[in-house]
């Protein structure tokens, strides 16, 4: 999804940015290996290296590693070669697999696997902090027993049933960090905070005092990161399953949520809703809302984004662009999406068609950010003639205004003459218009402009928030929330979302 990733542990670009390979990482890996009971035996080390050399993940690895009689020197040489390998993640994985085979019951194995997880996977924790946590907890002597650990597990976290009654510290941490869905440090931080606050354990394990200080600094860092984490974007996509002209046409609902920097730019996907049975057109709001209500991962993310801006985007095919998307209500109490978050619609055809060029689209998108001091932003909305006799004039009218970024329709989209509707869609797909606004009931455009002017700022980029504020203000008045905003951010396009699926037409 773009090339804006960060450098990973070994200097390459990775979208999720795993660990930095530091001296601390190298040292902790070495210490974890030296903790194996039989590591002092040269034959044991040779067996591990031979198993790694046979692995498809690290073919011939054993040939390159110089052999030392000293276990410490030999281990450091192994770790150094892992660091220098073409694919260190894969080689680290083959090391863990070899030790699982050679020493499956050694108490050092879970610590090694935990360290490897932190170096190869995005756990949502800073890697240097995770390594410090592992080092502190490894130093606890004796290690707390299951009865002292299981009482600190956070409530309501799925995937913990497999821990059993003999769980160790590293096994619990791995289970909490390596879970399905988007990376989430919340459960492991809750466990560690409870563990560090246990007065019985703290008296005999001074490392927990250091852990408490580290967690406090992590909490401050997490709060700072959360405040700058950007916008949560939820995309709800309706793909036609049946031809649009048949009675009771049906749609497949797909949804994903993303994070995008507040100032715009590329976004990253966090999670996706599995595709289920299609929905009838007449049941989109009721059944679609129910599907969203059952999406537990989204509920967790929405709670976590309580202080972050959120935008709900509906990716709709041409016949559905007039859909009342803001009326969806996944809340068990009947609360509408449009009363709580900015809700916009998007052209599914432009989003999903790889043959549509993006140059004009991106150029006009940039003009949404232009600010003017001499007039309100809403005065920069263009109102083209929408009579059928002049539909053919719209491309020329648009070409004469290269900085125009937002169109206004003085006729509801669903009421447009077919010729005019085709011209409007041409303005979107060919002309590159990224934003369009209209009322869903007939009325003079001046009323719409004045409604938005009250909430607008100096830039049209605030239109989603302006429409949202208008919906909130008029929520108690019948028929006053019927405004649609088409809002097509060219940076918020996920090509992986368009993978084929059964029933797709």
Same-domain check for residues 135 and 217: yes
* Rounded distance between C-alpha atoms, residue 381 and residue 368, angstroms: 10
**Residues 57/94, Cβ–Cβ less than 8 Å:** yes
Residue 221 scores a pLDDT above 60: no
- Spatial contact of 328 and 337, defined as CB atoms under 8 Å apart: yes
Q: Is residue 328 part of a domain?
A: yes
**148 to each of 27, 201, 425, 480, how far by Cα in Å?**
29, 8, 64, 59
Q: What is the pLDDT of residues 31-72, one digit of tens each?
A: 999 999 999 999 999 999 999 999 998 999 988 899 999 999
| Residue 504: per-residue pLDDT | 35
Lowest-pLDDT range of 268-282, 300-314, 488-502: 488-502
CA distance 413 to 438: 7
Q: How confident is the model over 478-486, as a mean pLDDT?
A: 75
Residues 32 and 69 in one domain: yes
500 within some domain: no
Q: Kindly tell me if the per-residue pLDDT of 267 is higher than 60.
A: yes
> 3-class SS at 310?
strand
pLDDT per residue as tens digits for the range 169-203 = 999 998 888 876 667 788 888 889 888 888 888 88
145 and 259 share a domain?
no
- pLDDT for position 223: 46
* C-alpha to C-alpha distance for 343 and 328, rounded to whole angstroms: 10
| For range 419-439, the mean pLDDT | 95
User: DSSP character for 313?
Assistant: E
Q: Is the pLDDT of residue 21 over 70?
A: no
287 and 267 assigned to the same domain: yes
Average pLDDT over residues 105-134: 90
- Angstrom distance (rounded) from CA 78 to CA 392: 71
Average pLDDT, the chain: 84
**pLDDT at position 434:** 97
Q: How far apart are CA 285 and CA 105, in angstroms?
A: 54
Whether the CB-CB separation of 484 and 438 falls below 8 Å is answered with: yes
pLDDT at 35: 94
The closest of 400, 405, 394, 398 to 463, measured between CA atoms, is 405
User: Do 146 and 180 lie in a common domain?
Assistant: yes
Query: Is 181 found in the same domain as 135?
Result: yes
Higher pLDDT, 481 or 331: 331
pLDDT at position 132 over 50:
yes
Residues whose CB falls within 8 Å of the CB of residue 170, separated by 6 or more in sequence, listed in order: 110, 111, 113, 114, 134, 137
**Is residue 185 one of the residues assigned to a domain?**
yes
pLDDT-derived band of residue 148, with 50, 70 and 90 as boundaries? confident
Tell whether 304 and 392 lie within a shared domain.
no
pLDDT at 5 over 60: no
Residue 269, token pair as written in the block = 């996907």
Which of 353, 363, 483, 485 shows the shortest CA–CA distance to 432? 363
Task: Identify the pLDDT of residue 245.
Answer: 63
Is residue 315 scored above 90 in pLDDT? yes
Range of the domain at 87: 6-227
pLDDT in tens, 323-359: 999 999 998 888 999 999 999 999 999 998 888 889 9
Give me the torsion for CA of 425, 426, 427, 428, rounded to 10°: 50
Q: What is the pLDDT of residues 400-422, one digit of tens each?
A: 999 999 999 989 999 999 999 99
* Count of the separate structural domains present in the chain: 3
Assess if residue 475 is contained within a domain: yes
Q: Is residue 503 assigned to a domain? A: no
Round to whole Å and give the CA distance between 236 and 304.
19
pLDDT > 90: percent of the chain:
48
pLDDT beyond 90 at 301: no
Q: Does residue 392 lie within any of the structural domains? A: yes
Asked if 388 and 373 count as a contact pair (C-beta separation under 8 A), the reply is no
What is residue 500's three-state secondary structure?
A: coil
DSSP 8-state class, residue 63 = H
Give me 426's structure tokens.
């041409």
- The last residue of one of the domains, among 176, 208, 227, is 227
Radius of gyration of the chain (CA): 28
For residues 256 and 308, which has the higher predicted lDDT (pLDDT)? 256
pLDDT at 104: 94
CA dist 316 and 394 (Å) reads 23
Cβ–Cβ < 8 Å for 236, 253: yes
In order, the DSSP letters of 348-362 are HHHHH-TTS--HHHH
- Among 200, 227, 254, the domain boundary falls at 227
- Residue 495 lies inside a defined structural domain of this protein: no
* Averaged pLDDT for residues 302-328: 90
pLDDT at position 226: 46
How many angstroms separate the CA atoms of 301 and 306, rounded?
9
- What is the reported pLDDT for 8? 38
In terms of average pLDDT, the best of 291-305, 423-437, 453-467 is: 423-437
- Distance linking the first and last C-alpha atoms of the chain: 24
Looking at the fold, whether 57 and 87 belong to one and the same domain comes out as yes
Q: Are residues 257 and 213 in the same domain?
A: no
Question: Which residue among 227, 261, 288 closes a domain?
Answer: 227
| Same domain assignment for residues 162 and 213 | yes
Window from 107-111, 153-157, 406-410, 435-439 with minimum mean pLDDT: 153-157
Q: Which of 44, 121, 54, 52 is nearest to 81 (CA)?
A: 52
Q: Which long-range contacts (CB under 8 A, 24 or more apart) does 495-501 make?
A: 495/1, 495/354, 496/1, 496/269, 497/235, 497/237, 497/254, 497/256, 497/269, 497/272, 497/352, 498/352, 501/252, 501/254, 501/275
Query: Are 170 and 135 contacting, i.e. CB atoms less than 8 angstroms apart?
Result: no
Residue 505 belongs to a domain: no
Q: What pLDDT, on the 0 to 100 scale, is given for residue 393?
A: 93
Backbone angles phi and psi of 191, in degrees to 5: -65, -50
Same domain assignment for residues 111 and 40: yes
**Do residues 150 and 167 make contact, with C-beta atoms less than 8 angstroms apart?**
yes
- 177 and 192 share one domain: yes
């Amino acid at each position: 999804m773009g090339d804006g990733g960060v450098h990973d542990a070994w200097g390459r670009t990775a979208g999720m940015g795993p660990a930095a390979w530091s001296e601390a990482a190298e040292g902790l890996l070495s210490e974890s290996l030296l903790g194996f009971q039989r590591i002092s035996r040269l034959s044991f080390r040779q067996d591990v290296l031979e198993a790694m050399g046979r692995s498809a993940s690290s073919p011939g690895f054993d040939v390159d590693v110089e052999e030392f009689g000293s276990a410490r020197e030999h281990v450091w040489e192994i770790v150094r070669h892992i660091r220098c390998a073409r694919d260190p993640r894969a080689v680290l994985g083959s090391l863990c697999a070899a030790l699982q085979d050679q020493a499956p019951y050694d108490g050092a194995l879970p610590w090694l696997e935990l360290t490897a997880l932190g170096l190869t996977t995005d756990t949502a924790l800073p890697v240097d902090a995770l390594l410090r946590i592992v080092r502190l907890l490894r130093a606890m002597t004796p290690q707390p027993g299951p009865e002292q650990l299981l009482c600190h597990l956070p409530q309501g976290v799925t995937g913990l049933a497999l821990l059993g009654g003999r769980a160790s510290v590293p096994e619990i941490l791995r289970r909490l960090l390596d879970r399905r869905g988007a990376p989430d440090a919340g459960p492991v931080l809750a466990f560690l905070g409870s563990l560090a606050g246990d007065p019985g354990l703290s008296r005999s394990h001074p490392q927990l005092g250091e852990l408490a200080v580290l967690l406090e600094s992590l909490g401050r860092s997490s709060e700072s990161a959360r405040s700058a984490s950007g916008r949560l974007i939820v995309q709800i996509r309706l793909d036609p399953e049946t031809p649009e002209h048949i009675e009771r046409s049906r749609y497949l609902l797909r949804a994903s949520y993303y994070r995008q920097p507040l100032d715009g730019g590329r976004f990253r996907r966090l999670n996706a809703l599995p595709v289920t049975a299609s929905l009838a057109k007449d049941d989109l709001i009721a059944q679609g809302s129910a599907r969203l209500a059952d999406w537990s991962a989204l509920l967790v993310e929405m709670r976590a984004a309580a202080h972050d801006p959120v935008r709900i985007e509906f990716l709709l095919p041409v016949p559905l662009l007039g859909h009342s998307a803001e009326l969806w209500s996944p809340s068990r109490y009947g609360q509408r999406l449009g009363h709580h978050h900015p809700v916009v619609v998007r052209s599914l055809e432009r989003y999903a068609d790889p043959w549509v060029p993006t140059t004009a689209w991106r150029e006009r998108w940039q003009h949404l950010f232009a600010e003017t001091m001499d007039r309100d932003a809403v005065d920069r909305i263009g109102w083209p003639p929408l009579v059928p006799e002049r539909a053919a004039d719209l491309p020329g009218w648009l070409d004469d205004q290269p900085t125009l970024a937002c169109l206004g329709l003085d006729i509801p989209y669903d009421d447009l003459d077919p010729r005019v509707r085709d011209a409007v869609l041409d303005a979107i797909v060919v002309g590159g218009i990224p934003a369009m606004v209209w009322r869903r009931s007939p009325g003079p455009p001046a009323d719409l402009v004045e409604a938005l002017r009250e909430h607008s700022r100096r830039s049209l980029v605030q239109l989603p928030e302006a429409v949202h504020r208008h919906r909130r203000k008029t929520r108690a008045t019948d028929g006053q929330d019927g405004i649609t905003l088409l809002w097509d951010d060219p940076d918020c396009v996920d090509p992986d979302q368009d993978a084929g699926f059964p029933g797709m037409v």
